[in-house]
Amino acid sequence: MSESFSQRPTRIVVDLDALSGNLRAIRSHVGVPVMAILKANAYGHGLVPVARHLQAQGAERFGVAFVEEGIALRRAGIHLPILVLGGILGRQAGLLIEHDLELTVSSIDKLRKVEAAAQTLGRKAAIHLKIDTGMERIGVHSETCGPFIEASVASRWCTVEGIYSHLACADDPDDPMTALQLARFHDACGHFTRLGARMPIRHLANSGGILHYPDTWLDMVRPGIALYGVLPDPRSRRTIDVRPALELRSQVVYFKVVHVGRPVSYGATWAPSADTRIVTIPLGYGDGYPRALSNRGQVLIRGRRLPIVGRVCMDQFMVDLGPDGTAYNGDEVVLIGRQNGETIRVEDLAAQADTIGYEILTRLNDRIPREYVGGE
């Protein structure tokens, strides 16, 4: 982060010890290796600092969405295996192999493109086969994947390191879809046995699978949101003791009295019914703080939970202290996290903004400086 941002009163504070504690909690609960998912700037926590810390703390593998994220990790000195989970185009294959990134191969056609790139570079590609068991996103359908697996096993330029699929409904502990997907995945893996080939690493479980469906843990799990201490869905159960690692804090930059009937912010959507005290907080939707929290969200100031009033602007928003409330310029404002025993969780913001915790976290952008604590 450049010097010019260092004075900004708004910041994200990431507790590295919480992250490695969550990694250990998941690891010991499932008893199989963990591929820590670091896509989208490590769910807003900061790609490189999170990766460096987790690598030092014994993470086994990393997963990212895009080749660019994988290259950023290699440039930062990350040496663990990194799987790029997203669909790729043939022209990207060479770049992945050059940077020693593991590729997701999701069709015979893509397998051929990866083989061609590997041959050109004179270097074998490590691949994970993607099977579609019910997500209909990328991957070969389980019921027709026999020839795909056969071609991959026979490949001279690709080493099949893993086989995986993705769960669509595991955030809900009671959805029958997961059992169906697991059965289809086992059918797909059966082709290795049929071919007399070595079984690669079988991995299926995202956070929902890890929290609710032990049968899906198989040879490795792929936690994202749970690693960051946030639950995937309001229906999810906290079966593992993970805790949030990210706090979003700011400071009051303005105080005033707003008179009865004088509307606040764009569109004049809210006005006080009696004279009241209002403070201004210096962040907004331009930082990724949801505009959907206009007239709905809350913040903590001096240990009190206080309402956002009027619309959230690009760079600022207003909070009502009430007629007798006090706050001074420079007072700490907690948007996500704890203050004097009160807590605002990512899950609370998600509910108020009609979205999921994933979106709240990944939208927090680089305009907000990130500060790291713990991790010694």
Ligand X SMILES: *Cc1c(COP(=O)(O)O)cnc(C)c1O
Positions touching ligand X (CB under 6 A) are: 37, 39, 85, 166, 206-207, 222-226, 232
Query: Rounded to whole angstroms, how far apart are CA atoms 190 and 192?
Result: 5
Q: Which residues pair with 35 in a beta bridge?
A: 61
Question: Which residue is catalytic, options 254, 256, 266, 328?
Answer: 266
Query: Rounded to whole angstroms, how far apart are CA atoms 202 and 90?
Result: 24
Question: Which residue is catalytic, options 39, 110, 113, 130?
Answer: 39
Instruction: Strands of the chain (E only): list them.
Output: 11-15, 35-37, 61-64, 82-84, 102-105, 125-132, 140-141, 158-164, 201-205, 220-221, 246-251, 254-258, 276-281, 298-301, 304-309, 317-322, 332-339, 342-344, 370-373
> Can you tell me which residue has the tokens 């450049």?
2
Is position 266 annotated as part of the catalytic site? Answer: yes
Closest CB 356 distance from ligand X, rounded Å: 10
Closest CB 104 distance from ligand X, rounded Å: 8
Residue 84 or residue 327: which is nearer to ligand X going by CB?
84
Residue 224 or residue 337: which is nearer to ligand X going by CB?
224
Query: Rounded to whole angstroms, how far apart are CA atoms 121 and 102?
Result: 15
Alpha helices, DSSP H, located in the chain: 16-30, 39-43, 47-56, 67-75, 93-98, 108-121, 146-154, 177-195, 207-212, 346-352, 357-363
Residue 181 or residue 206: which is nearer to ligand X going by CB?
206
Strand pairing category for 246-251 and 332-339:
antiparallel
Residue with the shortest CB distance to ligand X: 224
Is position 39 annotated as part of the catalytic site? Answer: yes
| Residue 338 contacts residue 247 (beta carbons within 8 Å) | yes
Residue 10 or residue 206: which is nearer to ligand X going by CB?
206
Closest CB 30 distance from ligand X, rounded Å: 12
Structure tokens at 201: 């690493």
Closest CB 206 distance from ligand X, rounded Å: 4
Residue 37 or residue 72: which is nearer to ligand X going by CB?
37
Structure tokens at 5: 């941002």
Closest CB 224 distance from ligand X, rounded Å: 2
Question: What residues act catalytically?
Answer: 39, 266
